[in-house]
Structure 1
């Protein structure tokens, strides 16, 4: 018997991509509200409480409201793609590679990771756990994304009539909403200095953590960092670690195909004083919708890669 899934906010960018990934899946039956009913609180409440799974693709306030609509006695299990519950008590962080697949499998409430934090945490969290990187270091994260991650308003700014934006940097108040998520789930002592930017490509993301490793007390070498990441993600079909990086550039393509995988790179200079940790992913894939489907698969007891686009 198919699991019923209600995507609350299915008309948004993330919701549409999740629907697309589930469209031909006979393991799931989508609960769909027409345009007249999808903003009706009574219809939403019914769908939220009667479905096996609810995936919330909503602004933070609306996601909190949706969770409050779910009766404690309901069987519904929740995946929240908003920022609202990523460091909240009672929620499991939906990064199976980091928190463990058993934790996701048994959880009722799962918070989907943010797109930028997915790249940062994939690089840093395993290395802090392994003692290769210090928890008390003042980390910096530079990142660039396609504009689809900003939702309909930002898409219109980049695609609308007369649009001429070539580059957008933001978060200039140094209080980006991803800060707590990155600190908590990497096990850090300090908030990350985060510098996000957007370019005129629909999808794609490069997340970089530059490191002065020679100034660290344990003086880790880039090769040791790469080896630790290779060991941590061994066997993963979703997160791949590049071996012996010699690339001279990493690119975001304007017309990239959707992808639910992520590739990690470790670059080091001769002598090992500096290192650049870099994650390349699709902000709508492993950074959003693909991660939600991965979590849904695990929670439903299915192979985690089912229906994902891994290239």
Structure 2
């Protein structure tokens, strides 16, 4: 028996990436709407209610409106927008977040896809909070750079316009109130919001997320080896998230924003200096892969009871 899927917003950046991954996917059938039907409220309502699983690739307000159009108690929803990431009744769609999270996703009806920045941040920080290595009240900072496709159609057009001459790197979120901060705070288990300093690079896709730690100042002064051991244990056996060995990390001189390419992998690194008591945690991912479309397909597989990595680019 096939699972019927409807991608609402299938012609957007994330929607196209999801559709590409699902092409040829076993055990799935699809509801598709023509350009004219997408503008027809009745046709959209019917598609939303006829599907077994709906994936929303819409702006936040439109995602909320789409959920309101579903008037049955059967259709499951994966929302790739930020509308429901900290909303009551929604399960956070990061299966690797902590023990038991994958089962929560499997039992859920409403799943909120994580943001790309929170995916890298939480992968690095949540295991360390759970292990007691980062106290819940510790002042955590996070920075990095994302490809400009993370800004959606408007930013893509800005960077790719024939007359455009955008900078190679620019900081943003300077009001320190980025929309990702609530989910970073809630799902990390931190008592206070992290100081988040994001930037955009002149690259279409890719992402580097960095969390520096002054280990010598932290309770118990954990060593770089302690930090690495907690991360390695958290993702042991994962086909999607990997943690570089200490030996491999020591041999590296750089981490490129294109590190994982157009894949759905998430690669984690711990660069440490035992003498100075410092560590730099780094996550490399594709903002359109594990940071968006790849995560949606992974969650779809879990909801449908299919192999978790089916259709993923690993």
The alignment's TM-score, normalised by the length of structure 1, stands at 0.97
Report if the CA contact (8 A) 1:264-1:280 is conserved: yes
2:299 aligns to what?
A: 295
1:177 aligns to what?
A: 179
Secondary structure in 1 aligned to 2:97?
Answer: helix
Q: Confirm or deny that 1:5 pairs with 2:11.
A: no
2:88 aligns to what?
A: 89
Report the more deviating stretch, 145-154 or 158-167.
Answer: 158-167
Report the aligned-residue RMSD: 1.2
| 2: CA distance, partners of 1:253 / 1:64 | 33
| 2: CA distance, partners of 1:40 / 1:136 | 49
1:28 aligns to what?
A: 28
The alignment's TM-score, normalised by the length of structure 2, stands at 0.96
1:233 aligns to what?
A: 235
Q: Confirm or deny that 1:276 pairs with 2:292.
A: no
Structure 1 residues 128-167: aligned runs within 5 Å: 128-165=129-166, 166-167=168-169
Structure 1 residues 106-145: aligned runs within 5 Å: 106-145=107-146
Shift of 1:74: 3.5
Shift of 1:252: 2.0
1:79 aligns to what?
A: 78
Structure 1 residues 236-247: aligned runs within 5 Å: 236-244=238-246, 245-246=249-250, 247=252
| 2: CA distance, partners of 1:29 / 1:55 | 13
| 1: CA distance, partners of 2:294 / 2:107 | 20
Shift of 1:182: 0.1
Report if the CA contact (8 A) 2:148-2:159 is conserved: yes
CA deviations on 1:143-199 (whole Å, 9 max, x unpaired) are 201111111100011111122211222111111000000000000011111111111
Moved over 2 A (4+): none
Aligned residue pairs total 308
Shift of 1:272: 5.0
Secondary structure in 2 aligned to 1:97?
Answer: coil
Structure 2 residue runs of 5 or longer lacking an equivalent are none
| 2: CA distance, partners of 1:202 / 1:250 | 17
Structure 1 residue runs of 5 or longer lacking an equivalent are none
Structure 1 residues 50-65: aligned runs within 5 Å: 50-65=50-65
Shift of 1:288: 0.4
Q: Confirm or deny that 1:251 pairs with 2:256.
A: yes
Shift of 1:23: 1.0
2:194 aligns to what?
A: 192
| 2: CA distance, partners of 1:129 / 1:278 | 18
| 2: CA distance, partners of 1:115 / 1:253 | 15
CA deviations on 1:45-83 (whole Å, 9 max, x unpaired) are 111111000000111111111111111x34110000011
